[in-house]
Chain A
Amino acid sequence: MNRARLVLGLLAVGLPPVLGPAWTIAVASFGALAVVAAAWPWRRRHAAVSIAVGAAIVTCAFSHAGIPALAAEGVLILAYVLVNHAVFPARQFIAGVVATLVVAGALTVHPGVSAWLTGIGLAAAVAAFGVAVPSRRR
């Protein structure tokens, strides 16, 4: 499992710089370090996973990757997060792949950015985070 974590993590942080500017290699290297750190069984392992995922997304944000490449990167990131736990949840992975395909299809049909979309997207991001993370009060 450790080897799978390492391979998936390095793929997730290593692919985006191929399509991005040279300076993104620095961010990807930082992410690679976090991947290696997350492969060791220590206390802050889970934080290292989050850092590696964050580095991969930031690298993607400044790359020129198209929709197929971003979809593949999204699936890789999901697989990396899920493989970091004792039991690999196939159900969640399949749900993630399906969602990625749906969103990729939608973006292919109507790509575009507007001020309204920005506002709605920001609200959706906050709402998604709030809904997804269970709160202690609930």
Chain B
Amino acid sequence: MTGWRASARTRQLATAALVALVAAIVTGHAGLVLLAAAPLAALAVLPRARPAELPLVTVAVSGARCFEGEDVTLTATVSCPAADKIDIRFVPAPTAAAAETQPGQWRINATHWGRYSPGTVLVSCVAGAWQAAVAVEVEPLEVFPRAARTRPRLVPAELLRRIGEHTGRAVGDGVEFAGIRPYVPGDQLRDLNRAVSIRRQGRYVNQRAASRAADLVVVVDSLTETGPPGETTLDIAAHGAAALAAAYLRVSDRVGIVVLGGVLRWLGPAPGDRQFYRIAEMMLRARYDAYVDPDLTRIPRIVLPPGALVVLFSPLAETGVLTAITDLRERRLPVIVVDTLRYEPAPAREAKHSPADLALRVWRLDRAATRARLAAMGVPVLHWGRDAELDGVLASSGRIAVRS
């Protein structure tokens, strides 16, 4: 915020008068005083009293939280009784887009997830010979990552003894066909399989698979963030985590989250829509810089219930992540790694056997070795390509990948 100072019009008139007077004196041409007379007279009739108070700017946003791609409305009101002219502008942050719907009101589109101020409101008031400029930074907006439509495809082999919507191996009261067996007294007549009963000259009934719930723990590796803006490894991980959490919570499963990076943060598995927002809030904190080396082998037991499916989003760039995966496997948890690295370092433009080219090849070999080591541990690594949907990526894994 700046105080009251001479307005642009005042400064222009004064400059014109000064230049004309100096020119008249330097050249000895008295007629040039005529050029100064008009600006000086205009200055003399300008109201010269400085306003007592600075402009009061009030900024209101329709909501403090939204999802990526959603709109919020920002309204700015200015109170400055002495002002002749008030000019209000909004300068959006690089991660937001704004369109003015009416004077003093803008529709802001949050184009990127995170916790950030959507922009700054700039107010300029002119009162007589004075002008004041006020810049108000809008309160930070919490933009949750957009959850892409995904189906809960990954199901651990051993499901919990809790009613859910996944087809379990055990026989139960679900809807999926599991087999046939001879009729025993107490069986319901609607389960009678007529075709088999006639063919085998006996009474046979259908068996159905039990519907069970699953526990999912999403692990996000925020130790490394690389890639172009909007498509960094952390952006991809956040979108993946949001999509999986939404998909599993929709079918009454329990979902938890662990953020590897800085201080280890976690949220135990829980069901319901509320859990989604708690997970989204935790994702917002994943981006903060931290200078703490987390102990990745100390993920609390309460976060990882027995039989929980663990999906880790990671660029596999830190050795600490491999330690965490090893720890998870030692706890006999089924783990799937989704590789979030979409852009590898640019290939060297120099000769083929230059040190840069050699370094890139060694780096590729190292990543291949990491993948092989994970495969040997029974951890599939799925690559989430640029044009691929998460649903399609996970479809390639299915049930075979999640043995414990």
Chain A residues packing against B (C-beta within 8 Å)? 46, 49-50, 53-54, 57-58, 60-62, 65-67, 70-71, 73-75, 77-78, 81-82, 84-87, 89, 91-93, 95-100, 102-104, 107, 111-113, 117-118, 121-122, 124-125, 128-129, 132-134, 136, 138
B24–A121 CB distance below 8 A = yes
* A65: chain B residues within 8 A (beta carbon): 31
* Further 13 A-B residue pairs, CB within 8 A, beyond A61-B23, A81-B39, A82-B9: A50-B15, A57-B20, A60-B35, A86-B85, A91-B45, A96-B39, A98-B41, A112-B30, A117-B30, A121-B24, A125-B17, A129-B17, A132-B40
Give Cα distance in the complex from A38 to B42, angstroms: 21
Tell me if B364 is interfacial: C-beta within 8 Å of chain A: no
Give the residue name and chain of the B residue nearest to A96 (CB): B38
* B395: chain A residues within 8 A (beta carbon): none
A132–B43 CB distance below 8 A = yes
Assuming the contacts A58-B19, A104-B34, asked whether A134 and B41 have C-beta atoms less than 8 A apart, the reply is no
A74–B37 CB distance below 8 A = yes
Give Cα distance in the complex from A79 to B162, angstroms: 83
* B5: chain A residues within 8 A (beta carbon): 134, 136
Chain B residues packing against A (C-beta within 8 Å)? 3-6, 8-46, 48, 50, 84-85, 126, 129-130
CB distance from B50 to the nearest CB of A (A): 7
Give Cα distance in the complex from A12 to B135, angstroms: 36
Residue of B24, B39, B84 with most partner-chain A CB within 10 A: B39
Give Cα distance in the complex from A107 to B33, angstroms: 9
A82–B42 CB distance below 8 A = yes
CB distance from A4 to the nearest CB of B (A): 16
CB distance from B209 to the nearest CB of A (A): 69
Q: List the 5 closest A-B pairs by CB distance, nearest first.
A: A99-B41, A125-B21, A96-B38, A92-B42, A78-B38
A96–B41 CB distance below 8 A = yes
Give Cα distance in the complex from A73 to B35, angstroms: 7
* B130: chain A residues within 8 A (beta carbon): 134
Give Cα distance in the complex from A121 to B21, angstroms: 7
Give Cα distance in the complex from A107 to B24, angstroms: 13
B23–A60 CB distance below 8 A = yes
Give Cα distance in the complex from A21 to B32, angstroms: 17
B38–A77 CB distance below 8 A = yes
* B19: chain A residues within 8 A (beta carbon): 53-54, 57-58
B38–A133 CB distance below 8 A = no
Assuming the contacts A60-B32, A107-B34, asked whether A121 and B25 have C-beta atoms less than 8 A apart, the reply is yes
CB distance from B340 to the nearest CB of A (A): 40
* A129: chain B residues within 8 A (beta carbon): 14, 17-18
CB distance from B273 to the nearest CB of A (A): 47
* B40: chain A residues within 8 A (beta carbon): 99, 128, 132
* A50: chain B residues within 8 A (beta carbon): 11-12, 15-16
Total contacts A to B, CB within 8 angstroms?
Answer: 163
Give Cα distance in the complex from A121 to B26, angstroms: 10
Selected contact of B38 from candidates A74, A86, A89, A132, CB within 8 Å:
A74
A81–B9 CB distance below 8 A = yes
* A71: chain B residues within 8 A (beta carbon): 34
Q: Write 25 A-B pairs (CB below 8 A) sorted by A numbering.
A: A46-B8, A57-B16, A57-B20, A58-B23, A60-B23, A60-B32, A61-B29, A62-B27, A67-B31, A73-B34, A75-B38, A77-B35, A78-B42, A81-B12, A81-B39, A89-B42, A96-B38, A99-B38, A103-B34, A112-B30, A113-B28, A113-B30, A117-B30, A134-B48, A138-B50
Assuming the contacts A81-B12, A92-B46, asked whether A70 and B39 have C-beta atoms less than 8 A apart, the reply is no
Give the residue name and chain of the A residue nearest to B17 (CB): A128
* A70: chain B residues within 8 A (beta carbon): 31-32, 34-35
Give Cα distance in the complex from A60 to B16, angstroms: 12
A118–B15 CB distance below 8 A = no
Assuming the contacts A70-B32, A107-B30, A136-B3, asked whether A84 and B12 have C-beta atoms less than 8 A apart, the reply is yes
CB distance from A117 to the nearest CB of B (A): 7
Give Cα distance in the complex from A73 to B39, angstroms: 12
Give the residue name and chain of the A residue nearest to B12 (CB): A81
B23–A57 CB distance below 8 A = yes
B42–A95 CB distance below 8 A = yes
Assuming the contacts A118-B25, A133-B6, asked whether A128 and B31 have C-beta atoms less than 8 A apart, the reply is no
CB distance from A59 to the nearest CB of B (A): 10
A103–B12 CB distance below 8 A = no
CB distance from A122 to the nearest CB of B (A): 5
Assuming the contacts A82-B9, A96-B42, A121-B21, asked whether A128 and B36 have C-beta atoms less than 8 A apart, the reply is yes
Give Cα distance in the complex from A46 to B15, angstroms: 12
CB distance from A82 to the nearest CB of B (A): 7
Assuming the contacts A128-B21, A136-B3, asked whether A61 and B10 have C-beta atoms less than 8 A apart, the reply is no
